[in-house]
Amino acid sequence: MDNIAEDCNQAMSLKHQTERAIHLATEHAKFLVHPDGHWAGPLLSDTIFTTQYIFTLLSLTQPISEADHKSFIRFFLSAEEEDGSWALAPKHPYGGNLSVTVETYMTLKMLGFSPSHPIMEKARAWILEHGGIEKVRNTTRVFLAMFGILSWSSIPQLSPELIFLPTWSPLSIFRAAMWARTIIVPLLVLRAYEPVYPLPRTVSASEVPSYLDELWCTRLPGKPRILPYTKPSIPLLLSNPISFLFQLLDLLLLYIFIPVLSRLPARRLAIEACMRYMMDRQDPEGP
């Protein structure tokens, strides 16, 4: 009986705590509501949304106001982890992420934040400890290639003609999630044109290849870096046949299909289809 009474008391206590929490949350929500009935608050995410927005501004040679410049730097510094890294999300349980940290470090440097600053030194040490630029993901490689820091040959082959594949095809972009297609389709166009945009005007053309030399674990001559994205074929075939097939497809695209496709009228039509796909799905507000 004593155990039953104790369980009842605990249940009542939990019920009371739950009701109180709901009441406090409701009152707080009422306090935060705007006069027209809506709520607004900060979106908590990793820093790459902001870094990639800045990459877009710089690639389009759009000016960044002094107020925005200060806000960007303040945001990046506020999101840094204690160990010098930046994570996939604020207070992420798995800690820092190498690609996010490299992109954020690069953006801070592009904004004129000194690499000799203790915060940058701490970030740089963390990056090198976790494999350096050599270990970043492919999407980060794209941004590095866009500014001439990496060679475009470091990026896996992507052909805009993929947009024409039927939905039943294993490689159809429509087999990917909607959010993933918003990334894949622009990458198809970028990979076709392989653009290289200028770094901030404070960086001379001769400095571009070595712009992030401090983040490499291996030192190479001051030329556009090339990172292999393929693995030795025989070990890959034995350990992961599916990955081997994708690697084989990439090589076929590189040496056979893409040199032919890029010279056919279908290339222009494919790029137009990719552009139309993106424009048709753009929100009226612009994003």
Matching residue, tokens 């040959």: 153
Calculate the CA dihedral of residues 278, 65, 44, 34 and round it to 10 degrees. -100
Task: Report the pLDDT averaged over residues 173-192.
Answer: 90
Q: Which two tokens stand for residue 238?
A: 């034995």
Task: Report the pLDDT averaged over residues 211-218.
Answer: 88
Mean pLDDT of the chain: 85
Reported pTM: 0.77
Instruction: Assess contact for 257 and 148: CB atoms under 8 A.
Output: no
Instruction: Assess contact for 214 and 125: CB atoms under 8 A.
Output: no
**287 CB-near residues (< 8 Å, 6+ apart):** none
With bands split at pLDDT 50, 70 and 90, how would you rate the model's confidence at 158?
A: confident
Matching residue, tokens 């009422």: 30
With bands split at pLDDT 50, 70 and 90, how would you rate the model's confidence at 261?
A: confident
Task: Report the pLDDT averaged over residues 221-239.
Answer: 69
**112 CB-near residues (< 8 Å, 6+ apart):** 200, 202
Q: Helices (DSSP H) in the chain: which residue ranges? A: 2-32, 48-59, 66-79, 98-110, 118-129, 138-146, 178-193, 233-239, 241-252, 258-261, 265-280
Is pLDDT of 146 > 90?
yes
Higher-confidence residue of 218 and 128: namely: 128
Burial (Cβ within 10 Å: 0-12, 13-18, ≥19) of residue 94: exposed
Task: Report the pLDDT averaged over residues 56-83.
Answer: 92
With bands split at pLDDT 50, 70 and 90, how would you rate the model's confidence at 274?
A: very high
Q: Which two tokens stand for residue 196?
A: 């290289």
Q: What is the DSSP letter of 163?
A: G
With bands split at pLDDT 50, 70 and 90, how would you rate the model's confidence at 287?
A: low
Is pLDDT of 5 > 70?
no
Distance of CA 123 to the CA centre of its chain: 18
Angle, CA of 197, 164 and 233, to the nearest 5°: 70
Distance of CA 235 to the CA centre of its chain: 30
